[in-house]
């Protein structure tokens, strides 16, 4: 599909029949019972694991006595959160197929098309003076729009908009008359102007540019490079020195430092959800819970490995004492607070302030934190092996802290090289 030129305004909406409209018509909405039956079957299949997992998670939360029980409950909850996005999406589509409707309205010299459930859904807005070639079409069988039957179509920029189903020629004439009469505008015939075809839909958009007209849109990120003396870099280095201070002054061992780094991964996951929300806006309603479930499951199992290998020890087969775990995190909170501040400063000064969100997509942002999981697994493998060979964890601890600082600072500087003007589609 060509996605360029004039772009309608999309937004969540509430459709109330009593609202003041120049014209309002509830369109026929054909229902494909074959599609409804197939989707309902898939929804039930996906819903069964969600229900059984919910029951298991509820049981685990009601009776956990050890760390292993808690991790099991957290893992099941995270898995349920990620898996539930599928049944939730299918159930929403199923409700639309069963009870959905389209409403065509005219207000403020614009055609507004509402689609959704009764009273709540999404609406798109089209300026009548820019609408072209209003007509009806009969789609070929087995096409994506075959469910509509004969329906209304008009051109808008480089794109074609379809609305209604099972309409007749008289319906089209009646709708055209009411649109033009209510708006005082004429729906013209012919080709689009150059201005109506200019600009791609997929331009990156930031919070302050969401409603900017195409001709004024010129997104840029800061051309000033991030250096070792930048506030976010200094905060990152300072926060990473906290484990070194804990090891030299408070006697932290390798296990405590790895637990701290695990907790920092959770902080990174939290700010990654914030980034997804900035990039995706309403799309984050699905993407953020899916990421939280997937990443949360990894985090739960990962902590079990860290605790079992470096805190409890592989020979201790007990479930892990929760009070000891709480005391351990209590002793780590000052260092964790510094790391949280460092990531918060980077989020506000770089991701928001330098407009890094203009160069990101939801897909790339969802995968970004997993690089840290890979680093942690490498530390587990090589750190554990070196500790067993040397019989002493202090040299390994210092090496891990030094590598961690180097990796974090290098990635921080590399990720924030200036790219200047953002090109459409990049």
Instruction: Return the CATH number at 187.
Output: 2.30.29
CA 25 to centroid of chain Cα atoms: 35
Q: Whole-angstrom Cα distance, residue 287 to residue 280?
A: 8
State pLDDT tens for residues 47-86.
999 999 999 889 888 877 777 888 888 888 988 988 888 8
Q: Whole-angstrom Cα distance, residue 410 to residue 236?
A: 11
Per the structure, the count of domains in the chain is: 3
For residues 268 and 382, membership in a common domain is answered with yes
For residues 262 and 358, membership in a common domain is answered with yes
The single residue listed with the structure tokens 């839909």 is 201
Q: What is the pLDDT of residue 95?
A: 92
Q: Whole-angstrom Cα distance, residue 74 to residue 29?
A: 43
For residues 155 and 179, membership in a common domain is answered with yes
For residues 159 and 52, membership in a common domain is answered with no
Instruction: Assess if residue 222 is contained within a domain.
Output: no
What are the Cα distances from residue 304, in Å, to 93, 325, 377, 409?
Answer: 38, 12, 12, 28
- The lowest-confidence range among 106-110, 166-170, 213-217, 350-354 is 213-217
Task: Write the DSSP symbol of residue 184.
Answer: S
Find the Cα–Cα–Cα–Cα dihedral 328, 332, 333, 339, rounded to 10°.
-140
Instruction: Assess if residue 210 is contained within a domain.
Output: no
What are the Cα distances from residue 128, in Å, to 111, 121, 154, 176, 192?
Answer: 6, 22, 11, 11, 13
Which domain range does residue 50 map to? 33-98
What are the Cα distances from residue 156, in Å, to 25, 131, 174, 298, 356?
Answer: 20, 5, 20, 46, 32
Instruction: Assess if residue 366 is contained within a domain.
Output: yes
Adjacent-strand bridge partners of 162: 153
Burial category of 272 from C-beta neighbours within 10 Å (exposed 0-12, middle 13-18, buried 19 and up): buried
3-state SS, residue 406? helix
Instruction: Assess if residue 358 is contained within a domain.
Output: yes
Instruction: Assess if residue 224 is contained within a domain.
Output: no
Q: What is the mean pLDDT of the chain?
A: 82
Whether residue 320 has pLDDT greater than 50 = yes
CA 135 to centroid of chain Cα atoms: 37
pLDDT confidence of 202, banded at 50, 70, 90? low
For residues 52 and 24, membership in a common domain is answered with no
Whether residue 206 has pLDDT greater than 50 = no
Q: Whole-angstrom Cα distance, residue 36 to residue 42?
A: 10
pLDDT confidence of 387, banded at 50, 70, 90? low
For residues 84 and 110, membership in a common domain is answered with no
Instruction: Assess if residue 235 is contained within a domain.
Output: yes
Q: Whole-angstrom Cα distance, residue 43 to residue 28?
A: 26
Cα Rg, the chain, nearest whole Å: 28
For residues 47 and 82, membership in a common domain is answered with yes
Residue 183 token pair: 């708006």
Whether residue 19 has pLDDT greater than 80 = no
pTM of the model: 0.73
Are 158 and 2 in contact by the 8 Å Cβ rule? The answer is yes
Whether residue 401 has pLDDT greater than 70 = yes
């Amino acid at each position: 599909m060509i996605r360029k030129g004039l772009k309608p305004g999309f937004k969540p909406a509430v459709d109330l029949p009593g609202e003041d409209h120049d014209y309002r018509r509830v369109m026929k909405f054909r229902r494909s019972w074959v599609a409804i039956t197939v989707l309902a079957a898939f929804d039930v299949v996906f819903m069964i694991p969600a229900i059984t997992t919910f029951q298991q998670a509820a049981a685990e939360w009601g009776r956990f006595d050890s760390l292993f029980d808690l991790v099991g409950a957290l893992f099941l909850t995270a898995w349920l959160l990620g898996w539930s996005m599928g049944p939730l999406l299918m159930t929403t589509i199923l409700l639309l197929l069963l009870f959905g409707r389209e409403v065509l309205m005219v207000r403020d010299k614009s055609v507004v098309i509402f689609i959704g459930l009764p009273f709540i859904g999404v609406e798109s807005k089209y300026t009548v003076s820019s609408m072209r070639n209003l007509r009806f079409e009969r789609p070929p069988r087995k096409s994506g729009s075959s469910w509509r039957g004969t329906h209304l179509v008009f051109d808008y920029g480089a794109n074609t908009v379809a609305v209604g189903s099972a309409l007749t020629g008289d319906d089209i004439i009646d709708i055209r008359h009411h649109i033009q009469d209510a708006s005082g505008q004429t729906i013209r015939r012919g080709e689009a102007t150059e201005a109506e075809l200019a600009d791609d839909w997929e331009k990156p958009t930031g919070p302050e540019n969401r409603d900017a007209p195409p001709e004024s849109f010129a997104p840029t990120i800061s051309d000033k490079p991030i250096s070792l003396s930048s506030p976010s870099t200094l905060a990152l280095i300072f926060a990473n020195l906290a484990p070194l201070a804990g090891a030299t002054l408070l006697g932290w061992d390798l296990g405590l430092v790895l637990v701290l780094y695990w907790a920092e991964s959770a902080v990174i996951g939290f700010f990654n959800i914030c980034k997804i929300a900035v990039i995706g806006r309403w799309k984050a309603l699905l993407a953020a819970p899916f990421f939280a479930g997937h990443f949360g499951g990894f985090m739960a199992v990962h902590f079990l490995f860290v605790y079992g290998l470096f805190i409890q020890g592989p020979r201790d087969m007990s479930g892990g004492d929760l009070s000891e775990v709480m005391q351990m995190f209590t002793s780590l909170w000052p260092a964790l607070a510094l790391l949280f501040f460092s990531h918060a400063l980077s989020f506000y000064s770089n991701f928001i302030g330098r407009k890094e969100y203009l160069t990101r997509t939801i897909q790339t942002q969802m995968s970004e934190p997993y690089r840290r999981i890979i680093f942690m697994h490498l530390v587990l493998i090589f750190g554990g092996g070196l500790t067993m060979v040397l019989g002493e964890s202090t040299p390994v601890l210092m090496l891990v802290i030094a590598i961690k600082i180097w990796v974090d600072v290098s990635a921080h500087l590399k990720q924030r090289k200036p790219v200047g003007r953002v090109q459409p589609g990049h």
